[in-house]
A and B are shown apart, each in its own frame.
Chain A
Amino acid sequence: MSYLEEGKRKGIAGWILSTDHKRVGILYLASMLSLFFVAVVFGVLMRIEQMALDPPIFPAQMYNALFTLHGVIMIFMFVLPGLSAIFGNFFLPIMIGARDVAFPRLNLMSWYFFIAGALIVLSSLFTGSGPPDTGWTFYAPFSLRSGTNITLGVFGAFVLGFSSILTGLNFITTIHRMRAPGMGWHRMPLFIWSLYGTSWVQVLATPIIGITFLLVIAERFFGIGVFDPAKGGDPLLYQHLFWTYSHPAVYIMILPAMGAITEIIPTFARRTVFGYKAIAYSSLAIAFLGSLVWGHHMFTSGMSEVANYAFSLLTFLVAVPSAIKVFNWTATLYKGAVRVDPPMLYALTFIFLFSIGGLTGLMQGALAVNAQVHDTYFIVGHFHYVMFGGTGIGFFAALLYWFPKMFGKMYSANAAVAAWVPIFIGFNMLYFSMLILGYMGMPRRYYTHLPQYHSLHMVATIGSFIMVAGVILFFGNLIAALYRGKKAADNPWGGVTLEWKVSSPPPLENFDRTPVIVERPYIFNPGTTR
Chain B
Amino acid sequence: MEATKNHTHSIPYRTYVIVWLVLLALTAILVLASAVSRSLAVWAMLFLTPVKAGLVFFFFMHLKYEKTFLKALVFMTLGLLVMVIALFFLDISYR
The majority secondary structure among interface residues of chain A is helix
Give CA–CA (A177, B6) in the complex, Å.
Answer: 13
Neighbouring B residues of A310 by C-beta, 8 Å: 87, 90
Residue in A179, A307, A311 whose Cβ sees the most chain B Cβ within 10 Å = A307
Write the chain B residue with the least CB distance to A180. B1
Which residues between 1 and 49 of chain B lie within 8 Å of chain A, taking CB atoms?
A: 1-2, 4
Q: Which of A179, A303, A311 contacts B95 (CB 8 A)?
A: A303
Neighbouring B residues of A176 by C-beta, 8 Å: 2
Give CA–CA (A436, B94) in the complex, Å.
Answer: 35
Which residues between 61 and 95 of chain B lie within 8 Å of chain A, taking CB atoms?
A: 77, 80, 83-84, 87-88, 90-95
Judge whether A181 and B87 touch: CB under 8 Å.
no
At the interface, yes or no: A230 with Cβ under 8 Å from chain B? no
Neighbouring B residues of A295 by C-beta, 8 Å: 87, 91
Q: A289-318 interface mask toward B, CB cutoff 8 Å, 1 = contact, 0 = none? A: 001100100000011111100110000000
Q: Which of A181, A288, A291, A304 contacts B91 (CB 8 A)?
A: A304
Neighbouring A residues of B77 by C-beta, 8 Å: 200, 204
At the interface, yes or no: A391 with Cβ under 8 Å from chain B? no
Judge whether A181 and B1 touch: CB under 8 Å.
yes
Give CA–CA (A180, B2) in the complex, Å.
Answer: 8
**Nearest chain A CB to B81's CB is how many angstroms away?**
8
How many Cβ-Cβ contacts under 8 Å join chain A to chain B? 45
Judge whether B91 and A303 touch: CB under 8 Å.
yes
Judge whether A307 and B87 touch: CB under 8 Å.
yes
The majority secondary structure among interface residues of chain B is helix
Judge whether B90 and A288 touch: CB under 8 Å.
no
Neighbouring B residues of A366 by C-beta, 8 Å: none
**Nearest chain B CB to A240's CB is how many angstroms away?**
6
Judge whether B90 and A307 touch: CB under 8 Å.
yes
- Given the known inter-chain contacts A177-B2, A303-B95, A514-B1, please indicate yes or no for A204 contacting B90, CB distance below 8 A: no
At the interface, yes or no: A163 with Cβ under 8 Å from chain B? no
Give CA–CA (A306, B91) in the complex, Å.
Answer: 7
Q: Which of B80, B91, B93 contacts A204 (CB 8 A)?
A: B80
Judge whether B1 and A288 touch: CB under 8 Å.
no
Neighbouring A residues of B4 by C-beta, 8 Å: 177
**Nearest chain B CB to A433's CB is how many angstroms away?**
35
Q: A83-100 interface mask toward B, CB cutoff 8 Å, 1 = contact, 0 = none? A: 000000000000000000
Write the chain B residue with the least CB distance to A314. B87
At the interface, yes or no: A332 with Cβ under 8 Å from chain B? no
Neighbouring A residues of B83 by C-beta, 8 Å: 292
Q: How many residues of A contact B (CB 8 A)?
A: 24
- Given the known inter-chain contacts A177-B4, A179-B2, A306-B94, please indicate yes or no for A240 contacting B80, CB distance below 8 A: no
Judge whether B91 and A240 touch: CB under 8 Å.
yes
At the interface, yes or no: A415 with Cβ under 8 Å from chain B? no
Write the chain A residue with the least CB distance to B95. A304
**Nearest chain B CB to A394's CB is how many angstroms away?**
26
Give CA–CA (A295, B80) in the complex, Å.
Answer: 16
**Nearest chain B CB to A163's CB is how many angstroms away?**
21
Judge whether A291 and B84 touch: CB under 8 Å.
yes
Give CA–CA (A304, B94) in the complex, Å.
Answer: 6
At the interface, yes or no: A367 with Cβ under 8 Å from chain B? no
Give CA–CA (A292, B77) in the complex, Å.
Answer: 13
Neighbouring B residues of A477 by C-beta, 8 Å: none
**Nearest chain B CB to A251's CB is how many angstroms away?**
13
Which residues between 201 and 250 of chain A lie within 8 Å of chain B, taking CB atoms?
A: 204, 236, 240, 244
19 additional contacts (CB under 8 A) given A204-B80, A305-B94, A307-B91: A177-B1, A180-B1, A240-B88, A244-B84, A292-B83, A295-B87, A295-B91, A303-B91, A304-B90, A304-B91, A304-B92, A304-B95, A306-B90, A306-B91, A306-B94, A307-B87, A307-B90, A307-B94, A311-B87
Question: Can you list 22 pairs linking A and B with CB atoms under 8 Å apart?
Answer: A177-B1, A177-B4, A181-B1, A204-B77, A240-B88, A240-B91, A244-B84, A288-B80, A291-B84, A292-B87, A304-B90, A304-B91, A304-B92, A304-B93, A304-B94, A306-B91, A307-B91, A307-B94, A310-B87, A310-B90, A311-B87, A514-B1
Q: Which residues of B contact A (CB under 8 A)?
A: 1-2, 4, 77, 80, 83-84, 87-88, 90-95
Q: Which residues of A contact B (CB under 8 A)?
A: 176-181, 200, 204, 236, 240, 244, 288, 291-292, 295, 302-307, 310-311, 514
Closest 3 pairs between A and B when the two form their complex, measured CB to CB: A304-B94, A307-B91, A306-B94
